[in-house]
Amino acid sequence: MNFRLKLDPLVVMQKIDDQDVLFSKKSGDFFGLNESAAFMLRQLLGSDFKTAVSQSAAAFKVEKNVIEGDLLELVESLVASELAEKQNM
């Protein structure tokens, strides 16, 4: 499985009070990210799922299957919240 993730054009990622958040200009909703989730999301937005998993596993010194599960959970939450969409490769 490999895919890219694209944020909705009306969603911005920014730091507020030392926490990364996604803000939807469409709904006005905020989606808070912890430090590791923000790192993994940045990796994914700049590449593809497999690359993001590898980069995040190396950065956090954690097994790829753990990162893969965490990143998939984050992606599904963002897609369900209509903040992002998966793009098949």
Q: Buried b / exposed e across 32-68, counting CB within 10 Å, b at 16+?
A: ebeebbbbbbbbbeeeebeebbebbbeeeeeeeeebb
As its CATH architecture, domain 9-83 has Orthogonal Bundle (1.10)
pTM of the complete model: 0.93
Q: Return the pLDDT at 89.
A: 86
Domain ranges (residues) in the chain:
9-83
State mean pLDDT over 54-64.
97
State mean pLDDT over 33-44.
96
